[in-house]
Amino acid sequence: MNISHIEHIGIAVKSIENSLPYYENVLGLKCYNIEEVTDQKVKTAFFKVGQTKIELLEPTAEDSTIAKFIEKKGEGVHHIAFAVSDVVESLADVESKGVQLIDKAPRGGAEGLQIAFLHPKSTGSVLTELCQ
Ligand code: CO
C-alpha cells in the first residue's frame, strides 16, 4: 500500500445548494465541479484545499447510502479518501491483513477516479476510500 496524500474528505449534506455559502463565502473556497454519480445516487460538489479536496455528497434518492447516513447520524464527515498508486494492489494488500472490504474491485467514482471502500468495521469506524 502506497498512500501519497489525502485525496478528499467526503461530507454528507442534505443540500449542496444550501451548503455552498458556508464553503464559498465563509471559508473562501471555490466550487469547481458539481457532478452526479448515478450508480451511487449522489450529487457531488468539489473544492480544492491544496492537493486535497472537500467532496460534498448530497443524496439523489431515498435509498442512497448518503440518505441513510444522514438519517442515522445527521450531516457531517462521511469518509476519508486516500490517494494510492494502485487500487487493485492496495485492496489485495489490506485484505491479506484481514481488513473487510466493501468493494472487492475498484469502481468508477466522481472525477473519473477508480475507487474502492474499506469496511468501517475494520478501520476504527472511519469509512475509508482508496482512490487512484
Ligand atoms: Co469519496
3-class SS shares of the chain: helix, strand, coil, % to 5: 30, 40, 30
> Rounded CA gap, 99 and 119, in Å?
7
> Rounded CA gap, 61 and 81, in Å?
23
Domain ranges across the chain: 3-131
**Locus of grid cell 457531517:** 76
Under the banding of pLDDT at 50, 70 and 90, the label for residue 59 is very high
Instruction: Give distance in angstroms: CA of 81 to centre of ligand 1.
Output: 6
What CATH number is given for 3-131 in this structure?
A: 3.10.180.10
Instruction: Give distance in angstroms: CA of 96 to centre of ligand 1.
Output: 23
Instruction: Give distance in angstroms: CA of 13 to centre of ligand 1.
Output: 13
pLDDT tens, position by position, 74-108:
999 999 999 999 999 999 999 999 999 999 999 98
> Rounded CA gap, 47 and 98, in Å?
34
Instruction: Give distance in angstroms: CA of 115 to centre of ligand 1.
Output: 8
Under the banding of pLDDT at 50, 70 and 90, the label for residue 25 is very high
